[in-house]
Amino acid sequence: MIYKSKWSEIKISIPRVIVTYMICHESTWYHMCPPPCLLYILITLRRVRIIVLFFFILTNQIFFIAFKKMSDEVIEYAKEVAQKKSQVPRLNERILSSLSRRSVAAHPWHDLEIGPGAPSVVNAVVEISKGSKVKYELDKKTGLIKVDRILYSSVVYPHNYGFIPRTLCEDNDPMDVLILMQEPVLPGCFLRIRAIGLMPMIDQGEKDDKIIAVCADDPEYRHYTDIKELAPHRLMEIKRFFEDYKKNENKEVAVDEFLPPKTAYDAIQYSMDLYAEYILHSLRR
């Protein structure tokens, strides 16, 4: 009878224990301070009830701690992912342009080196072929060679014409160069040149000097080191071309006397310094 009475008491106590625990578990008091709540239940129940309640609560607490730890890890991982995403730079037009330039094509003005022999022997990019009546020029934004116009006069370029990379003049263009050599060169190609003189020129009121150079790898012209070594007729032909090629466009051009190689070297060096300042200023923006 005693055994049955005890068992009956246990059966009656178990539901009450569960209900009591659930009420306490759902309360704010339990979440704020679980130990006092558990202590209260343990004190108010008898020894038999304590054993049942202990295992029930222990199991619940184990699951609760495991779930909380898992939740903290998930939250921490989400924060790390969000932080990494925030560190990725936004692809603006400038970055896209830079990526495009590096993966597709080089910019002849900025990416081509001027050469170790500067300022006397440098690289040059041809824009206009010898004998051409088409005026090509560099498109500074894309780096492509575009058609600017067809010459109005019945003249053609007497020699290959182009620019020196990584230089900058007062007109915001790279340094112009006229290249004496045997054969015409396709627009967009680059070659090594040797500066032999400078032709001072004013184009519609703006300074637009031209470097006179020879191809450093042409056996017929590579031995020239000074513009005075050229035939007088050749010099007159060059000067007359630049004086006349814009007359039918009603544009005023003034050409002065040719200057020695030292002046050409100084002009190239000055344009290299201006370009370096331009790049540094662009990087600071």
pLDDT of residue 65: 72
pLDDT of residue 169: 94
**Of residues 243, 119, 131, the one with CA closest to residue 175:** 119
Cα–Cα distance between 196 and 229 in angstroms, integer? 9
Of 136, 157, 245, 275, catalytic: 157
Establish how many alpha carbons lie within 13 A of residue 193's alpha carbon, considering only the half-sphere containing its beta carbon.
33
Q: Report residue 90: phi and psi, to 5°.
A: -75, 140
Q: What is the pLDDT along the chain (285 residues), one digit of tens a residue?
A: 444 454 454 444 555 555 555 555 544 444 444 555 555 555 555 555 566 666 667 676 676 676 666 667 767 777 776 665 555 444 444 444 554 555 556 899 999 999 999 999 999 999 999 999 999 999 999 999 999 999 888 889 999 999 999 999 998 999 999 999 999 999 999 999 999 999 999 988 889 999 999 999 999 999 999 999 999 999 999 999 998 888 878 888 899 999 999 999 999 999 999 999 998 888 877
pLDDT of residue 205: 86
Tokens of 45: 């129940």
pLDDT of residue 249: 81
- Among all chains, which residue has been given the structure tokens 């339990």? 30
Hey, what domains does the chain have and what are their CATH numbers?
Answer: 2-87 (no CATH), 108-284 (3.90.80.10)
157 is catalytic: yes
